Structure formats: C-alpha cells, structure tokens
Structure 1
Amino acid sequence: MTVLVWITEGTWPACVDAARAHAAQDAEVVLLHISGQDVPGLAHGAFAGLLGRGRPERDPGGLVEALAADSAGHLLDTAAERLGRPCTRLERTGRAEHEVVAAADGAELLVLARDGDRTRRGPHSLGPAARFVVDHAPCPVLLVWPEPAPGADTFPPPPPHHR
C-alpha cells in the first residue's frame, strides 16, 4: 500500500499526523512537495524584460529556484522527522493541483489538508487547489483540518430553495 501525503507550508503537520495515525505500518509513505514555477518565472521575466538586456549572468531567477528547492528540501526533511518512520521524499515543480493528481496515480490513499477558509465548515474550506485534487484524485482521499475543526454552528445556511 502506498500513502501519498501532500506537504504544503502551513498545513503539513496535520497531514503528517494523519498519515502516522491512518497508514498501516507496512505501507509505503511518500511525502510530496510541489514548488510552483510562478515566482522563479516572474523573476526571470522581470529581469529579461526590464533589466537584463545583454546580461543573462545577472538573472535572479536561478537563485530564486535554488532557494525554493532548498526550502522544499528542508520542509520535507522536517516532515519526515515528524513522521518518525521510513518514507520517500518526492519534490516536483509545476502547477500544484496537477502534480498532486499525477503523483497520486497508483497510490491507495492521498492525504491532504483543507486550503481555504478554515474558520467555518462548508465548501469554502476547500480552496481551488484542494478542490481540484479532491475532484480528480485517482484514489481515496483523506481530507484533514490543519487545526481543530470549527464548531457545528459554523455550517453555512441552506440555499433559499431548501428552506
């Protein structure tokens, strides 16, 4: 059994704790971090368009990419330490929701955290990335709250046609 755990800044501890609690001892646990291409791409573009005429050696995009990779590696190492068992660390670059769905192909369970409004229950507790992953995952999904779930009094009201 392979359990894929999507590691993101700010919500990863809840995902690691859920994997630790729900993955069988003999399961292969894969910690996945996705680095977006948007920030290094912006740095490359800004430099080329505004500053870089004839000086490609001064392009800051490469440094931004290296910093992102270093940060991802540190985050995965910290998550692996919290998991407290052997695991595989997987780093990908690209559009997060697409990379997660692709990486989940062949997994028996995908663990991810809510990435939207975490102050109340309801559909807005899922941001666009998590919603895409939940809707397109090729395996069962364990969706966790990054902190204790809000109370039942935070349910959204029913639509007008159901009142």
Structure 2
Amino acid sequence: MAVLVWIVEGTWASCVDAARAHVGEDTDVVLLHVSGHEVPEIAHGAFAGLLGRGHPERDPGIRVERMAAESADRLLRAAADRLGRPCGRVERAGRVEREVVRAAEDAELLILARDGDRGRVGPKSLGPASRFVVDHAPCPVLLVWPEAAPAVTDLPPPPPHEP
C-alpha cells in the first residue's frame, strides 16, 4: 500500500510538503493528477456542431487534450522534484472526484488540500470535488491548508439549542 497525494494546480505544493513531513521514508508515495473531461468534450462538441464536420484534423478538442496531458506531466514532474525521493506518478482522466476516489481504493492514506474559501474555517473551505472525495474516500484522509489556516475565532456560534 502507498500514500496517495492528489496533485492539483494551485495547491499541490502544500500536499507534497505534507507528504514530506508526515510520511515515513520507507512508505511508497504516489502522486496523482486527474484531468477533467469537460473542456476537451466541449471543444470536440463545438467543432462537430458549429465549425464543420468532415475535418477531424482541425478538431480543437484533440489539441486541448494534448495540452492537458503536457500540463499534467509538468505538474507531476515538479511535484516529484519537490518531494525529493522516489515516487510513482499517475495521470488519470475523467470525472475528477470519482477518479480520485477510485485511485484511493488501495491507499493507506490520501493527502489533499482545501480548495474552496480559504479565508475562514468551515465546510466552504472545500470545493465540490474535494468535498466529494473527503466524503467518499475509502482510506484515511489528511486534509491540509495550502497556506496558513485562518484563526478559529471565526467559528460560527453554537446552535441555539446548545447550552
């Protein structure tokens, strides 16, 4: 089993730093990046519906897919360099939140970062995909702040029925 580190642009460095700080040297680490399917599909659809069928070599969706793969490769290489130790690298494509959960099936730990409103504590500090992953992960989850956590003085008041 291995520790899975979900690599997302904008928050990946904090996840890698958490792996460096909390994962033993004898534990395998796998860096995971998932490319969403929505943007290439929109480009394919726009081309097929509006720009002319019959010229597949002009389909912008193919170029978008290639650019996404190149970007994911650069991001995974940067994360591996920052980790500074041997690790696996996995690139998946599809519905991001579901691919992360599937990839975590055999993991002993999943590391991910908050990606919502990071100005205050609470459930809105998680975006929809991260919320899904936290709720459905088949393994323990280490949830990290990409920067310093906000003060807990921002906690909401207790419910009115609590003394």
Structure 2: stretches of 5+ with no match in the other structure: none
Matches of residues 115-126 of structure 1 in structure 2 within 5 Å? 115-126=115-126
Taking the TM superposition and a 5 Å limit, the aligned residue runs for 1:7-26 are 7-26=7-26
CA distance, structure 1, for counterparts of residue 162 and residue 102 of structure 2: 38
Aligned-partner SS, 1:146? coil
Q: CA deviation at 1:161?
A: 4.1
* Partners of 1:52 and 1:58 within 8 A in 2: no
Query: For the Cα contact (< 8 Å) 1:52–1:59, is it kept in 2?
Result: no
Distance 2:97 2:156 in 1: 26
- Per the TM alignment, residue 75 of structure 1 is displaced from its structure 2 partner at its CA by 0.2
TM-superposition CA deviations, 1:33-69 (whole Å, max 9, x none): 0000111111000000000222222111101000000
State the partner residue of 1:54: 54
Corresponding residue of 1:66: 66
Instruction: Give the partner amino acid of 2:136.
Output: H
Take 1:40 and 1:157, find their aligned partners in 2: how far apart are those partners? Answer: 44
**How big is the shift at 1:107?**
0.7
Q: Secondary structure at the match of 1:105?
A: helix
| Corresponding residue SS for 1:115 | coil
Return 85-94 or 49-58, whichever deviates more.
49-58
Report the CA distance between 1:159 and its aligned residue.
3.6
Amino acid at match of 1:155: L
Measure the CA separation in 2 of the matches of 1:22 and 1:9: 21
Q: Which moved more, 1:23-32 or 1:46-55?
A: 46-55
Partner of 2:105: 105
| More deviation, 132-141/66-75 | 132-141
Gaps of at least 5 residues in structure 1 are none
1:28 aligns with: 28
Who is 1:130 aligned against? 130
1:154 — aligned with what?
154
3-state SS of 2:70 partner? helix
SS of match in other structure, 2:112 = strand
**Residue 84 of structure 1 corresponds to which residue in structure 2?**
84
Q: One-letter code of the match for 1:126? A: L
CA distance in 2, matches of 1:151, 1:20: 25
Structure 2 counterpart of 1:91, which letter? E
Return the TM-score normalized by structure 2: 0.96
Q: Deviations over 1:76-122 (max 9, x none)?
A: 00000000000000000011110011000111000000111100001
